[in-house]
Structure formats: structure tokens, C-alpha cells
């Protein structure tokens, strides 16, 4: 009789172990999902903090921009010239209204000063003001090219009584 009683209990025991395994699996899955949620919440909090910090920095930078005096901003012109205010004023007295730009514009029209011929149909020229650097009230260093080959030159200039600029090539080289 005892044998009959054990067999029905084996099915219950198996079912209980199976349910216990499913419950353990579900508990583990629930715990793992909770961990992932906690990690995501922590990352979200860090991102919100970073966003707030960046917003604060943007506000600070905007305040700084508002406080900048436009007269103190270095222009592109300042990067192309080593002339002091005294030298600029002396060139103004010689007839140039805006010495740095006047000198640069004049040289941009003087491709005849470049002692090299272009190649492959190119034309040697001073193409951009950014490549013309005024070193002193007499000297300019300039980059020229034809789209295929390039070179640089040192020029001397003078301003006559009418404010016209006269040029002399001191030295040049072609970088082939």
C-alpha cells in the first residue's frame, strides 16, 4: 500500500519543483529588470545634471558675449598686419584712409608683380586677403598661386603724395 501512496506524490513533488523553478526564474528576471531600471534612472539623473550644467555654462557665455566691447574684438585685418597704431596713423597721413585694407586691395590687383608664369592654364595671382601680411610700414609678405603651383614673396611699398601705392619686389620663390 505504501507504494501506491508514493506514486501520486511524485507527480505533486515534480509539479512543485517545476513551479519553484519557474518562480525562481521569474524572481531572477524581476530582480534583473529592477537592476536595469535602477541603472537607467541613475544614467538619466547624470544626463539631467550634465544638461543643467551645460545650460548654466551657455548662460554664462551669453552674458560674457553681451559684455564684450566690439571695439576690443580683433578683426581679420589685425591678424594680417603687424603695424602699430602709430604706423597706421602715419600711413593715414600719407593718404591712405584704411591702410591695411587699402594696401591689401591694391596688391590683390597687382598680379604683374609676380615674376612667374602659371602652369597648365593657370594664372598666377594673389587670390585672398588672408594671404597678404603687412609686416612694417614698408614691407609686405604675400602668398601667390595659380591653382597648381604656389610661391611667396617679400615686397617693399611706398605711398606717394596722392595716396598711390608703389611696389618693388625684394625677393620671391616658387614652391614647385
Q: How far apart are CA 80 and CA 126, in angstroms?
A: 14
3-state secondary structure the chain: CHHHHHHHHHHHHHHHHHHHHHHHHHHHHHHHHHHHHHHHHHHHHHHHHHHHHHHHHHHHHHHHHHHCCHHHCCCHHHHCECCCHHHHHHHHHCCCCCHHHHHHHHHHCCHHHCCCCCCCCCCCECCCHHHEEECCCCEEEEEEECCCCEEEEEEEEEECCCCCEEEEEEEEEEEC
* pLDDT tens for each residue of the chain, 176 residues long: 455 555 667 778 888 889 999 999 999 999 999 999 999 999 999 999 999 998 988 888 887 777 765 544 444 454 578 888 888 888 888 888 889 999 999 999 999 999 988 888 888 899 888 889 999 999 999 999 988 899 999 999 999 888 889 999 999 999 86
Specify the pLDDT at position 72. Answer: 47
Q: How far apart are CA 41 and CA 26, in angstroms?
A: 22
Listed by start position, the domains of the chain span 1-73, 76-175
Q: What is the DSSP pairing of strand 132-134 with strand 139-145?
A: antiparallel
pTM, two decimal places:
0.55
Which residue carries 564684450 as its cell?
68
Specify the pLDDT at position 69. Answer: 55
Specify the pLDDT at position 79. Answer: 52
Amino acid at each position: 500500500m505504501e507504494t501506491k501512496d508514493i506514486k501520486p506524490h511524485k507527480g505533486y513533488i515534480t509539479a512543485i519543483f517545476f513551479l519553484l523553478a519557474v518562480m525562481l526564474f521569474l524572481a531572477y528576471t524581476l530582480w534583473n529588470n529592477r537592476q536595469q531600471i535602477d541603472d537607467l534612472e541613475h544614467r538619466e539623473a547624470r544626463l539631467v545634471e550634465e544638461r543643467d550644467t551645460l545650460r548654466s555654462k551657455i548662460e554664462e557665455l551669453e552674458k560674457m558675449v553681451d559684455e564684450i566691447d566690439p571695439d576690443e574684438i580683433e578683426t581679420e585685418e589685425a591678424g594680417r598686419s603687424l603695424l602699430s597704431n602709430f604706423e597706421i596713423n602715419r600711413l593715414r597721413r600719407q593718404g591712405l584712409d584704411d591702410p591695411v585694407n587699402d594696401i591689401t586691395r591694391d596688391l590683390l590687383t597687382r598680379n604683374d608683380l609676380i615674376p612667374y608664369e602659371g602652369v597648365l592654364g593657370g594664372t598666377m595671382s594673389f587670390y585672398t586677403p588672408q594671404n597678404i601680411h603687412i609686416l612694417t610700414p614698408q614691407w609686405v609678405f604675400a602668398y601667390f598661386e595659380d591653382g597648381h603651383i604656389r610661391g611667396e614673396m617679400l615686397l617693399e611699398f611706398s605711398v606717394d603724395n596722392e595716396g598711390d601705392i608703389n611696389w618693388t619686389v625684394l625677393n620671391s620663390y616658387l614652391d614647385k
